[in-house]
Amino acid sequence: MPATLDSGPLIHRLPKVELHLHLEGSIEPATLREMARRKGRLGDETEEWIRDREHDGFRYPKFADFLNAFKLLSLLLEAPEDYALATTRLIESLHAENVRYAELTLAAGVVLWKNQSLDAIFEAVKQAADDASARTGVRVAWIFDAIRQFGVDHARTVMRHAARFRNRGVVAFGIGGDEERGPARLFTDVYREARDLGLHLTAHAGEAAGPESVRDAVELLGAERIGHGTSAGRDAAALQSLAERRVPVEVCLTSNVATGVVERIEDHPLRSFLEAGVPVTLSSDDPAMFHTSLEREMNLAAVTFGLSLQEMIQFAENGIRAAFLEKDDRASLLDELARTVAKRQSAIENDSCCLL
Ligand SMILES: [Zn+2]
């Protein structure tokens, strides 16, 4: 029986992990205003950006428009304190949704492009995360992302910074941005070195490019998780490649509609991934830019695709299994999930979720 809008209470109670979440894209207009106030000013540019976000319906006519909006937003982050405040507010919002663990992506490549000190910014976000984690119990790790179209040398620099902070909470290296201008084959050496340095590997792929981009990320780069992977959902060979290697796909439904990757949520190939046996996790990507959240994404998936409560629980479990967690931490989250589900087993079997 499919889940309904009333599935919300169970979805809320599930201990969740969020694996595809950009710090910069999580900054709500209210936080931008708070940032500006702390600095004693609210510049015209900031106010204009905030107003646009509040009024434009959170859609970006072309994928390039979204990349540009992300760049403009990043430029508003002028100091380590801005990044720290964004981190604090993000962890509070994760706590409100019963997210227990998150891997936050920092656009380290953008920080370097802005000529800011990555060390100072990482120290600030790490401290903010430690403080917020102690208050809320939400644990976080970090992924450093490079920008595909900035080229190989840039990506190598970002990756080496990630490796330098590996024992301080950076667990993975990834690439995002323009897949056409920065195809996977350019980055094979960088990914090999990253793996040798002990980093986990992710890649945004199949977002604005075809399924070959996903296959290349998996087969040439050895990506352990794929961000989006959307175009692979319509390609048997790419689906098979993901399924055989058990590479999870981080599905971000609202994001894909907002950036024009799919026209409507119903057009997303989520079902194809499930039918092909690809492990799927759900994520919010840039929640403030797309006006969404993890719980919202889960509810949206349930309602749009008629998924059962059991399938929603499977998403939560997939997230825990796909996380770059130590063995014991993974086991304890899986245990917590199992206990949460067991308490409500009869209701889940009857799908009487409104009673949960
Ligand atoms: Zn992303």
- Residue % of the chain over a pLDDT of 70: 90
Instruction: For residue 351, tell me if it sits in a domain.
Output: no
Q: Find the 255 Cα to ligand 1 centroid distance in Å.
A: 8
Residue 315: inside a domain, yes or no?
yes
Of residues 7 and 182, the one with the higher pLDDT is 182
Domain count within the chain: 1
The boundaries of the domain holding residue 195 are 15-328
Per-residue pLDDT, 354:
37
Residue 334 lies in a domain: no
Whether 113 and 157 have beta carbons less than 8 Å apart is answered as: no
Integer CA distances (angstroms), 306 to 31, 40, 237, in order? 35, 49, 26
* Ligand 1 centroid from CA 304, angstroms: 22
Beta strands in 185-283 (DSSP E): 200-205, 225-228, 249-251, 280-282
**H/E run at residue 29:** helix 29-38
Is the predicted pLDDT of residue 326 greater than 90, yes or no? yes
Confidence tier at 355 by pLDDT (50, 70, 90): very low
> What value does the mean pLDDT of the chain take?
90
Length of the chain: 356
pLDDT at 41 exceeding the cut of 70: no
Q: Is residue 340 a part of any domain in this protein? A: no
What is the reported pLDDT for 216? 97
Please report whether residue 341 resides in a domain: no
Instruction: Find the mean pLDDT for residues 318-324.
Output: 98
In the reported structure, the alpha carbon of residue 348 is separated from the centroid of ligand 1 by a whole-number distance in angstroms of: 32
Bigger pLDDT: 241 or 308? Answer: 241
pLDDT exceeds cutoff 70 at 55? no
Q: What is the spatial distance between Cα 276 and Cα 239, in angstroms, rounded to a whole number?
A: 6
Closest CA to 330 of 312, 317, 311: 317
Residue, of 30 and 325, whose pLDDT is higher = 325
Q: How far is the CA of 253 from the centre of ligand 1 (A)?
A: 11
The CATH number of residue 88's host domain is 3.20.20.140
The predicted-structure confidence for 80-94, as pLDDT tens digits, reads as follows 999 999 999 999 999
Give pLDDT, residue 6.
45
3-class SS letters over 96-152:
HCCEEEEEEEECHHHHHHCCCCHHHHHHHHHHHHHHHHHHHCCEEEEEEEEEHHHCH
Q: Please give the distance, rounded to the nearest whole angstrom, from the Cα atom of residue 16 to the centre of ligand 1.
A: 18
Q: How far is the CA of 227 from the centre of ligand 1 (A)?
A: 6
Does 156 fall in a domain?
Answer: yes
Write the pLDDT tens digit of every residue in 264-282: 999 999 999 999 999 999 9
Residue 344 included in any domain: no
pLDDT tens digits, residue range 163-205?
999 999 999 999 999 999 999 999 999 999 999 999 999 999 9
- Distances in whole angstroms, Cα of residue 225 to Cα of each of 16, 28, 145: 17, 27, 13
Confidence of residue 54 (pLDDT cuts 50, 70, 90): low
Q: Decide if 155 is inside a domain.
A: yes
> Which residues are near ligand 1, the ion (C-beta closer than 5 Å)?
285
| Residues catalogued as catalytic | 207
pTM of the model: 0.92
Determine which of 21-30, 41-50, 113-122 has the lowest per-residue pLDDT on average: 41-50
Tell me the pLDDT tens digit for each residue of 226-241.
999 999 999 999 999 9
